[in-house]
Structure 1
C-alpha cells in the first residue's frame, strides 16, 4: 500500500485496523506522568495481557480451597493442565497436537532434544549453527560436543557473505554438500535474533536430510511472530520460549516440537521422569518405565501450574485472533516502519532486516553507523523502549497485538530528531 509520513495517516491506519482493540487488552507501561511508553521490545519480553491475573488467581484460589485435591477438582484440574495448551500452541507453530508440548525452558529443551537427536559417531559428529547464533545456542552445542568427547572447534558456522549481514541459504547447501558426511546435526535459529531474518525451514530440512543430518530449529524469535509450519517443514525437532511474542511473563515455560515421524519411536534415547511415563500407569509407582508417544514423551516432571496459567491466558488471545490476521497486520506495521525509516534519508542509517516481508517477522534491526549506546539511552529518556545490540544496531519489534501505527510514527519522529 502507499504510505504517508504524517501523524494523521498513522491514526487513520489505526482506525481501519480490525485488531486495534487488542491494545486495550494489555497493560502498556507508563512514564511518571502517566503517558504510555512506546514499547518496541516484544522480541525480548512481551507485555502482560490484562486477563493473566485472572487466570493465575483462579489457580491460587483452587490451591487455597482445595489443596492437593486441586489436581483433580480444580476448575482446570492440574493433572492435565499442560494438555489445555497443546492444541492452541500447535496452531501457532503449524504442528499436529501430538508433536507439541509445553515444558521446561528453552535451552533445557534443546539439551533434552539433543540427548535424543544428536547421536554422534567417530566420523559423523559435527554441528552446524549460524555464525551469529544466539549465545545460548552456541554454548549448548559446544557443551554437547565436549560431553561426547569432541572439541568446541567441531562447530561449523554458516556465515553471511562478505558485506552482508544476512545468511544465504545456498551457502548452507554448499556446507552440507561438502562436509555432510561429518555433520550429525544442524541447529539453526529460525528467525535470527540479531537481524530478524526468517529462514526457509523447509529448505533447511531438505538440505540437512540430503546428507542424513538431523535438523533442529530454535524458534525463540519465531513462535507467535511468524508462521513456521513446523510439520510441513519436515524439521526433526524445534524448541521456543513463550515470554517474547507469546506474552507469558518473564522466564516462563517453553515449547517443544518433535515431528510425527519420530512419535512412535520408543527406541530413541532420552532422559526419563515420571511425566513421560505412560499416563494410564503413571501412578502405579512400581511399574517399569513405559515412555509415552509423541512430544509428551520428552517431559520429565509435572508442570508448574502458575506459569502455565499465564501461558493459557495468552494462548486464548492468539486462538481468538489467529496467526493469519496477526501476520497480516505485522506486515503492514513493519512496512510502514520501514517506509518511515527510509524517509529519514540519512546515509548512516539502514535496516539490515530483509526487505521481503516473507523473510522477516515484526522485528526490524536498524543499523546506525558512527554511533554508540548513547543513542539507545537517548531513546529511553524519551520513553521509547527498544533493544540495543553492539556495535550499532537498535532492534525494534512493533508487535501486532499491542503496537499501533501511531506508535511507529512517533518513534521514528523522535529518532529522526535525535539523529
Structure 2
C-alpha cells in the first residue's frame, strides 16, 4: 500500500532515528543484532529511558496522595501522560483508564461490563485471528453466564469474511470482539465499517488495538467502537503500561473491577462511595514511572508522525515480502488486502523453533511459536510459524541480512 506523504512535512532521517535506540547497537552471538520482533515488544528510545530514569532520580512519589512537592510533580506527570495518550488516540482523557496493558483492559470489559449483563441465550462474536487475550476472557464470561461464543472465519488470503461476519450478527449477539490488526497475519481489519454494522444491531464492540497503536494513525472517535484497548510496551513505551478507552456511558454504568485505594471517594463500614471514572477503575499505586515513560514514547512517536511511521514500515514490508518470496521453500501465511508490517512464514523442512534458533545464531531475532493464536494455527494446520515483524527503526539492510541468514540456514538444513 502506498500511503500519501504530506509534502509540507520534512523528511524523517531514519538513520538518525535508529541511533536513538541503544539496544540496536549491540551484538548477539558475535553478530550485529537484527531485531525483527517488534510485534512482540517495541524497543525503547533514549527519550523513554531517560524519562523513567529522571522520574526515579528527581520526582519519585506516589500519585494523588500527597500535597508535598514530589507528590504534586508525580501526579502531574502521571496525569500528563494520560492527556498525551488521549490526544494521540483522539479521545477525552476522562474516558481513558490507565492499566497494565491490553490483557487487563479486555478483562476489565469482560468482568465489569459483560459479566453483569450477559445471560443464557446471549452470544459473543470473536474472530479466528484473535490473540488469546481477546478469546479467553470471553470464554470465561460465557461459562459463567451461559452465553455462547461464535467465531467469524477468514478467507484464503487471511482477510475476515465480512459477509460471514455480518451473518453472525444475529439478535442474540450482545458483544463483538476483534483485533484492529492481526498479530500473526498483519491483517488490518476494517474496524470502522464493522463497528458501524454492529452498532446498527445494538451490538457492543471491543477492539484490540495492540498492533495498531504503534504503527498507524489512530482516531478512536472515528472508529465508532464501544471499547478500545492498547498496550504501551509495543509503542516503544515501558512494559506494564496500557489503556482502555470506553464510552463515557459505559464507564459510568460499570462497577469497579478491583477495590482498594484511590478508586474511592469515601469508605465506611456500611458502604463505599466510588470515585468518578476513570479513577474508579485504577485501584492502588499505578506504574507511575512506566506511564511517565509512555508519555515520552507518545511524544516521540508524535514528533516522527504516525503517517511517516506507517509509510516507512510499509516500505520495509514490501522489501521483505519481495525478498522472502524469492526464497525457495518459504511459505508466507496471509496476504490480506491491507497488511501491517508483519510476515508469518515457514521454510520447508525446518521446524519453526529450529529455524528461529538458527537465525538467532546469525544475530536475527524473530518470534517462533503459536503467537498466542492457537485457533489461527489450527486454521492453517500448523503447530507454529516464524514471524518477522518490522518497525520504523529497522532498515532495508537488516532485511537483506535476515533473508541472507534464511538462505544460510536452508543450506545447513539441506
TM-score interval, normalised by the smaller of the two chains: 0.7 to 0.9
Q: Equivalent residues in 2 for 1:9-28 (5 A)?
A: 18-28=13-23
Partner of 1:256: 244
Note the C-alpha offset of 1:285: 6.5
Note the C-alpha offset of 1:216: 0.5
Q: Equivalent residues in 2 for 1:62-211 (5 A)?
A: 62=58, 72-74=68-70, 77-118=73-114, 119-122=116-119, 125-148=122-145, 150=146, 154-161=148-155, 163-176=156-169, 180-211=170-201
Note the C-alpha offset of 1:350: 3.4
Say whether residues 1:376 and 2:356 are aligned partners: yes
Range with greater deviation from structure 2 (189-198 or 94-103): 94-103
Query: Aligned equivalents of 1:34 and 1:368: distance in 2?
Result: 25
Say whether residues 1:396 and 2:392 are aligned partners: no
Query: Aligned equivalents of 1:384 and 1:305: distance in 2?
Result: 33
Q: Where does structure 1 lack aligned partners over 5 or more consecutive residues?
A: 3-15
Contact 1:43 1:397 in 2 (8 A): yes
Say whether residues 1:267 and 2:248 are aligned partners: no
Say whether residues 1:49 and 2:49 are aligned partners: no
Partner of 1:331: 314
Are the structure 2 counterparts of residues 171 and 94 from structure 1 closer, same or farther at C-alpha, using a change threshold of 3 Å?
Answer: farther
Partner of 1:352: 333
Note the C-alpha offset of 1:98: 3.9
Are the structure 2 counterparts of residues 206 and 273 from structure 1 closer, same or farther at C-alpha, using a change threshold of 3 Å?
Answer: farther
Across the aligned residues of Structure 1 and Structure 2, the Cα RMSD in angstroms comes to 3.1
Moved over 6 A (4+): 64-71, 284-287
Q: Secondary structure at the match of 1:28?
A: helix
Range with greater deviation from structure 2 (165-174 or 183-192): 165-174
1:121-149 residue CA offsets vs partner (Å, 9 max, x unmatched)? 4465211111242123222111122233x
Note the C-alpha offset of 1:385: 0.2
Are the structure 2 counterparts of residues 266 and 339 from structure 1 closer, same or farther at C-alpha, using a change threshold of 3 Å?
Answer: same
Range with greater deviation from structure 2 (118-127 or 193-202): 118-127
Are the structure 2 counterparts of residues 53 and 17 from structure 1 closer, same or farther at C-alpha, using a change threshold of 3 Å?
Answer: closer
Q: Secondary structure at the match of 1:86?
A: helix
Note the C-alpha offset of 1:18: 2.8
Query: Aligned equivalents of 1:43 and 1:66: distance in 2?
Result: 32
Say whether residues 1:361 and 2:340 are aligned partners: yes
1:152-178 residue CA offsets vs partner (Å, 9 max, x unmatched)? xx11111224x45442222211111xx
Bigger strand share: 2
Range with greater deviation from structure 2 (211-220 or 305-314): 305-314
Query: Aligned equivalents of 1:139 and 1:65: distance in 2?
Result: 36
Contact 2:110 2:137 in 1 (8 A): no
Q: Secondary structure at the match of 1:42?
A: coil
Q: Where does structure 2 lack aligned partners over 5 or more consecutive residues?
A: 3-10, 371-381
Q: Equivalent residues in 2 for 1:212-227 (5 A)?
A: 212-227=202-217
Contact 1:266 1:291 in 2 (8 A): no
